[in-house]
Amino acid sequence: MAGRVGGKVAFITGAGRGQGRSHAVRLAEEGADIIAVDILEQIESNPYPLSTPEDLAETVRLVEKTGQRIVALKADVRDRVGLGGALEAGIAEFGHVDVVVANAGILPMAMSDPQRLDFQDAVDVDLVGVMNAVAVALPRLPQYGSIVITGSTAGMMPNTVDNPAMGPGAAGYGWSKRVLIEYTEQLALQLAPEFIRVNCIHPTNVNTHLLHNDGLYSVFRPDLEKPTREDVLPAFTHFQAMPIPYVEPVDISNAVLFFASDESRYVTGQNLRVDAGSLLKFPNGPTG
C-alpha cells in the first residue's frame, strides 16, 4: 500500500544526520525516494562537528532499510553549481523530483574571539544555501510540487541568538532565519499560479548536535564553567511552555511529511512553529 508520499522523490539538504536524516527516513517510510546531500566537512567558524561520510552512509542504510531508494552525495549548499549537479545526478536515477527540503543549517557561535567571517558563514549556509537549493530545483519541480524550508523559533525571539555573548555568527543565524519568513511568503505567492507550494517550519530546541555542544550549554548556563548536558536540562525546559527540554527530530519530520504530501496541496506561505509553545511563553524573548 502506497504511503502518504508514495511515488514522490524528495531532495533534502543537510541529510547526513540530525533533522535532515530524520526527514529522509520519515519520508522514505511513507514511500518517497530520496536525493540526500551534505557537506561532509567542517566549516571553521562552526564550533561543533558537522557531518561526516560515515554519517551520510548511516542515512543511506536507514533509508534503504525502509525499502526505498536513495542517492546520497557530497554537496555544499553554498555552491549552487555543485548543488545543482548533485540534484541532477539524483534525477538521472529517479527521473524526477517533487519535494525540496531546504534543511541544511549551521549556528556558528563565538567560543573564544569572534572571527570576521562568522556572520557571513551563517548567512551563506542558512539563507543563501536555502535559496540555492530552491533555485536548482525550481526548473525541475512539477505542479503540486512542494518546497519545505527550515527556519527557527529562536530566530523569531529577541534576546536569543542575537545575544551579544553568542557572537556575530549567531546574529547571522538569527537574521537569516527571520529573512526566511518573508522569503517563504513571497516565493509562495510567486509560485502559486503553478500550484507549487512553499512553507517554512520553525523548530524550538531540537535534540541534535546544534543544541548539544559546549557553546550552547554555556549560553544556557553562564553561571557554570563547564556545564554538562544534565546541567542545562532545567534551562532547556524553561525555554518551552510545555515542560520538555527539546523536541525530537521526528517531531519536525512529521510536519515536513505533511507539507510534502498531497494533504497540504492548498497549504502555502505558512510559517509553522513546532516549538512546544516557546514563542507564546516568551514573545519578547526569554530575558525580555
Which CATH number fits the domain that encloses residue 109?
3.40.50.720
Are 110 and 162 members of one domain? yes
Helix (H, G, I), strand (E, B) or coil at 170: helix
The residues pairing with 149 across neighbouring beta strands, listed in sequence order, are 102, 200
**pLDDT at residue 288 is higher than 90:** no
Is 144 a residue of the active site?
no
CB 36 within 8 Å of CB 125: no
Report residue 189 as a C-alpha cell. Answer: 505567492
Are 57 and 123 members of one domain? yes
User: Each residue of 234-279: pLDDT tens digit?
Assistant: 999 999 999 999 999 999 999 999 999 999 999 999 999 999 999 9
- What is the DSSP track for 45-75? T-SS----HHHHHHHHHHHHHTT--EEEEE-
Helix (H, G, I), strand (E, B) or coil at 107: coil
Cα gap 102→99, rounded to integer Å: 10
The confidence score (pLDDT) of residue 159 equals 84
Cα gap 47→203, rounded to integer Å: 21
**pLDDT at residue 1 is higher than 60:** no
Q: Which domain holds residue 221?
A: 212-245
Cα gap 5→246, rounded to integer Å: 27
At 99, phi and psi to the nearest 5?
A: -135, 135
The confidence score (pLDDT) of residue 111 equals 61
Q: Average pLDDT over the chain, rounded to whole?
A: 95
Helix (DSSP H) and strand (DSSP E) numbers for the chain: 11, 7
Q: Select which of 173, 183, 217, 246 is catalytic.
A: 173
Tell me whether residue 288 is in a domain.
no
Residues 59-68 have a mean pLDDT of 98
User: Each residue of 11-43: pLDDT tens digit?
Assistant: 999 999 999 999 999 999 999 999 999 999 999
Are 252 and 238 members of one domain? no
What pLDDT band is residue 112 in, cutting at 50, 70 and 90? low
CB 274 within 8 Å of CB 201: yes
CB 99 within 8 Å of CB 11: yes
What pLDDT band is residue 164 in, cutting at 50, 70 and 90? confident
Tell me whether residue 126 is in a domain.
yes
Helix (H, G, I), strand (E, B) or coil at 222: coil
**pLDDT at residue 166 is higher than 90:** no
Q: How far apart are the first and last CA of the chain?
A: 51
Are 225 and 160 members of one domain? no
Residues in the chain: 288
Number of structural domains in the chain: 2
Are 183 and 232 members of one domain? no
Are 258 and 172 members of one domain? yes
The confidence score (pLDDT) of residue 110 equals 63
Are 55 and 187 members of one domain? yes
